[in-house]
Every structure is written in structure tokens, then in C-alpha cells.
Amino acid sequence: MDNFPRAKTAVVGAATFGIGEAHGYSSMEMAAHAGVEALKMAGLRTSDVDALFICLPFDAMSGISLAEYYGIHPKLTDNNRTGGSSSVSQMEHAALALEAGMCDVALITYGSNQRSATGKLQTPVGLGGVESVYKPRNPVSSYALAAHRHMHEFGTTREQLAQVALSARQWAKLNPEAFEQGNLTLDDVLNSRMVSDPLTVRDCCLITDGAGAMVMTRADKARDICKNPAYLLGAAAATTHMSISSMPDLTRTAAIESGARAYAQAGVGAADIDVLSLYDAFTINVLLFLEDLGFCAKGEGGAFVSDGRIAPGGQLPVNTNGGGLSCCHPGQYGMFANIEAIRQVMGLADKRQINDVNLALAHTNGGNLSSQATAIFGSSSTV
Amino acid sequence: MSNPIQAEKEYHKYLEQGRLMLLRDNESGKCMFYPRVVAPGTGSTDLEWVEASGKGTVYSVTTVRQRPPSPGYNVSLIDLEEGPRMMARVEGLAPDDVKIGQKVTARFIQEDDAALVVFDPV
């Protein structure tokens, strides 16, 4: 058991910008817009920010760049580059810095114009020379290898994987911000273009633009500036590999470690969680994370998501914004997984709001199932 | 001590000679892939090149689809007899016929002006 400062910090503002298509905006402009909107929600301005956390896709020093852009002189800048899991790691580190008095207002922001700029997923990665000669279409092929292994070991079916995409689309229809709103059927998922077997294009996340930001302060200040802060009860990360060929077991992710530590920090378990955000870059992710985070036994994820269990009206609400599969996926989806969990805790999820949310879990993923980071948010009743 | 190992360069030199060589950590006796200057997990630098048997088993498999008429091609993860796992391509079977658990053996080819190990079904 570590000494994570449970509920000593909270998110007091969370905002998105340019979800879907944001023609004419640079990634920095999008991240800056989202940051200002999140600050406004908390009645704060950029001049109040003394810690900046950001990770723009192609600016390795974007923490400094954003400080210049905002014209502020923060005490702390951070460019955590663990891919889609970076924003949870940044919250973890912001909580420690806030608790230690190293800063008072932390802004965590992200933005990408990848759809309108290139139409392709933009992920600059190193290593991988021993893989790239075989031309996997990464990241899809890496996740496809994990999916096939899961099917082989546990009898998981493509129809079960498709249920994840169908549930996400149903949630998306309740979220005006979601990019994909059209009808989606089981046949659509199974018969759409195969990208890397067994994953079709509908098993894969969208490629969109989008920006998001979160503002964190210490809990005492949070209560003064926000009616319903989302208290950070736990945040933990773990990694097992970078390239898929170095993953020890393709059916067991480091979410087993990050989740266990986050639960211990928060003093809660899977059965206590009211709503979940799981980084669904691909349909297989949701099965793996439901299993690794203790919502069902290993190998039972496929059966678990059947019969609408994670769809609107189901027993366990998962990815209520529509997820990376139907809402948005601007290169790194972690920020958006967090924001949806925060909105659910704050009661700001409109038509898709789950009743009486006291505990929300956001689990994020970076690389090729490589980096796993789990955050648990609580309402004031959990403090 | 001899000169510190240049794992990547030496691996490729062997590969050009048609040899799949693995680095073995003499402390644990375990082989690693890809070759590194330090054993993963333990930090041992007591390393030695050993020649792989070339025998392996398909751990997982995918077919990478291309825009027709270009055919899809196989990408597999192969568990080598010596323990470590590597990404590779299984040839000699239609991509859809490569199955998890298939026994395979290594063969060396030239592709894109470089030596490459691929695997054939046994």
C-alpha cells in the first residue's frame, strides 16, 4: 500500500473542444482552447495556473511550448509520453505535486487535429525494428494478435467483440458530441472491411480531431470553487512492454497491476464502481480491461458484454460518451475517458447521466497494450 | 572483459550469414529476443550468443489485409524452442490457414535488401 493522497486533490474543471472535426485549428490551438474552457468552468484563468501537463503528438517539449503560448511561467511542466495513458499518469503526478505544495493549480490538456490534418493516426514511436520488417499494420495488428490469442484461449467470438462496438454506438446516440451517430448492426461490424484479422474497421476506434483539458486543485480549494468536484481517490500506472512481441501474455495486461494499486489507494473494489470509462482503441481492449480490472473472471469478457450488459440500460455502464469507437479518438483517447468519468461524477452527462454516481473508474491504455493507467474518481460522499 | 557487446549490429551480421542467433544470459540460462546489451528483468551482462534451432510454435496470428488485388499477408508471433518470442511471417500456407499452435521452422531470405528470417510449417 502506497501513500497516494486519496481525495486530497480534485478535478474542478473539465472541457472538450473540437471533437470530431476541427478544420483550421492547429493541435496547440485546440489544446489551448480546451484548457481555457476547463479553467472557466472553475472560475480560473491561465494566470492562475502554476503547473502545466500536456503531450502534443509532435511536440516533445510541448509543456514549454504551451507555457509560452499562454504567456505564463509555471513552476512545473510535464510532457509524459506514455501514449493514451499519459493523462492519467499526469493526474497522478499532479496530485503528488499539489499535495506537496509544489503547485496550486494544475492544468492538464491535450489536443490533436489528426483527422483534418492527415486523416491518419499519428503516433511517433521508437524501437520496433525487429517487428517492422514483417510489416504489421500497427497499432491494429498488435491488438489483432491479442484478440486472436484471447479467442484461442477462451473461445471468445467475433460476435462478442462486436457487442463492444454496438454498445458504444448506442451510448454515442445519447451524446450529441459523439462523431458517429448512425445505426450500427452486428452484420455491419462483422462484414465491414477486415483490417487485420480478426479486427474489422468497426472493431477499430475512430480517427478524429479533438481536445480535452482538466483542472486540478487541492481539495480544500476545490470545495470553494466547484459545487461537485470529482475527487481523485486513486491513480496508478504500470507497463509490461512496448512492442507486442515483448508482451509476456497477450491476454493479461498491466491493468491487473495498475487497477489493483488504484483500488487499494481508493479503498474500493470493482463491485463499488458505478460507471466505467475503458480505453477502447479496439473492441478487444474492453474485454481485457473488464477482466483485468476485476469486473469478470479472466476469459469471460466476451460473455460478459453480451446481452447489452454494458449498453444503455445494462447493468454496468461502460463508455457512456460512445468511447473511442463511436465518440472520438484524436490519437490519444485517455483524456476523453477521464473527462467522461468526471462528467458522470459531477452530474454533467445530460441524457446519458447515470443516477447517483459516487464512484467512476477511468482506465487508459498506451502503445500496444503497453502502458496501463487507472484513475478512480469519487463524489463528495466518498471523501 | 572483452569488448562490450553490440547486440543489434552483431545480430544482423549473423542474420546476413543465415544464422538466427540469440543472446543467452549465463546467470539465468535464459535466452532473450530481441538481443539487448543487458538481460531483461535481471540486468545481467554475462551474455553469450547461441544459435537457435529454428524450431518454433505459432503463439498468435493475424492476416494484414491490403487493398485488393494485393493479397493479405501473415504476421505471426513465434515462440522459439529456446524460449523467447519473436514476430515473423509464416510462409508456405495461405495466411488464413496459419493457426495458433502450428509447428514451424526457420528459413532465411533476402527482402528489401536485408536478410530476414521467415518460418515454414513443419
* Domain match, B61 and B82 both: yes
Nearest to A141 among B75, B101, B112 (CB): B75
**Number of structural domains, chain B?**
2
Quick one: cell of B9?
549490429
* Domain match, B106 and B58 both: yes
* Domain match, B90 and B64 both: yes
Rounded Cα distance between A311 and B64, Å, is 30
**Contact A245/A130 with Cβ under 8 angstroms?**
yes
* Domain match, B62 and B74 both: yes
B87/A146 touch (CB, cutoff 8 Å), yes or no: no
**Contact A281/A143 with Cβ under 8 angstroms?**
yes
Q: For residue A159, what is the enclosing H or E element?
A: helix A158-172
Chain A residues within 8 A of B100 when measuring between CB atoms: 148-149, 152
* Domain match, B25 and B38 both: yes
Interface of A with B (CB under 8 A): 129-131, 133-137, 141, 144-146, 148-149, 152, 193-198, 243-246, 250
**Contact B103/B120 with Cβ under 8 angstroms?**
no
Q: Which chain B residue lies closest to A144 (C-alpha atoms)?
A: B62
* Domain match, B43 and B4 both: yes
How many other CB atoms are found less than 10 A from the CB of residue A38?
26
* Domain match, B121 and B67 both: yes
pLDDT number for residue B2: 64
Quick one: cell of B79?
515462440
Quick one: cell of A220?
480544500
Q: Which of A127, A131, A143, A148 to mutate against chain B (most B CBs within 10 Å)? A: A148
B63/A196 touch (CB, cutoff 8 Å), yes or no: yes
Task: Tell me the domains of chain A and their CATH numbers.
Answer: 9-119+208-227 (3.40.47.10), 140-199+234-382 (3.40.47.10)
Quick one: cell of B6?
553490440
Long-range contacts of A339-342 (CB under 8 A, 24+ apart): A339/A14, A339/A15, A339/A16, A339/A212, A339/A214, A340/A277, A341/A230, A341/A275, A341/A276, A341/A277, A341/A375, A341/A377, A342/A11, A342/A14, A342/A214, A342/A230, A342/A377
* Domain match, B18 and B32 both: yes
pLDDT number for residue A122: 57
Q: Going by DSSP bridges, is the β-strand pair A51-54/A76-78 parallel, antiparallel, or unpaired?
A: parallel
The CATH number that applies at residue B98 is 2.40.50.840
Average pLDDT for A166-194: 98
Q: Say whether pLDDT at A121 is over 70.
A: no
Quick one: cell of A78?
510535464
* Domain match, B38 and B7 both: yes
A196/B73 touch (CB, cutoff 8 Å), yes or no: no
Average pLDDT for A281-304: 98
Rounded Cα distance between A348 and A342, Å, is 8
Residue identified by cell 514483417 is A134
Q: What is the span of the domain harbouring residue B122? A: 53-122
* Domain match, B106 and B77 both: yes
The tens digit of pLDDT for each residue in A212-245 reads 999 999 999 999 999 999 999 999 999 999 999 9
A148/B61 touch (CB, cutoff 8 Å), yes or no: yes
- Give the burial string for A355-371 (b: 16+ CB within 10 Å, else e): eebbbbbbbbbbbbbbb
Residue A87 makes CB contacts below 8 A (sequence gap 6+) with A53, A55, A108, A110, A212, A214, A332, A334, A335, A338, A364
Nearest to A134 among B33, B87, B100 (CB): B87
Rounded Cα distance between A265 and A382, Å, is 13
C-alpha distances out from residue A13 to A38, A179, A234, A383, Å: 5, 23, 18, 18
**Contact A143/A284 with Cβ under 8 angstroms?**
yes
Rounded Cα distance between A51 and A71, Å, is 13
Rounded Cα distance between B16 and A98, Å, is 54
Chain A residues within 8 A of B96 when measuring between CB atoms: 197
Nearest to B85 among A134, A197, A245 (CB): A245
Residue identified by cell 546467470 is B27
* Domain match, B86 and B43 both: no
Q: Which chain A residue lies closest to B78 (C-alpha atoms)?
A: A245
The tens digit of pLDDT for each residue in A314-370 reads 999 999 999 999 999 999 999 999 999 999 999 999 999 999 999 999 999 999 999
Quick one: cell of A96?
503528488
The tens digit of pLDDT for each residue in B104-117 reads 999 999 998 899 99
Chain A residues within 8 A of B77 when measuring between CB atoms: 145, 244-245, 250
Average pLDDT for A46-54: 98
A245/B114 touch (CB, cutoff 8 Å), yes or no: no
Nearest to B65 among A136, A196, A246 (CB): A196
* Domain match, B65 and B121 both: yes
B61/A146 touch (CB, cutoff 8 Å), yes or no: no
Nearest to B62 among A133, A148, A243 (CB): A148
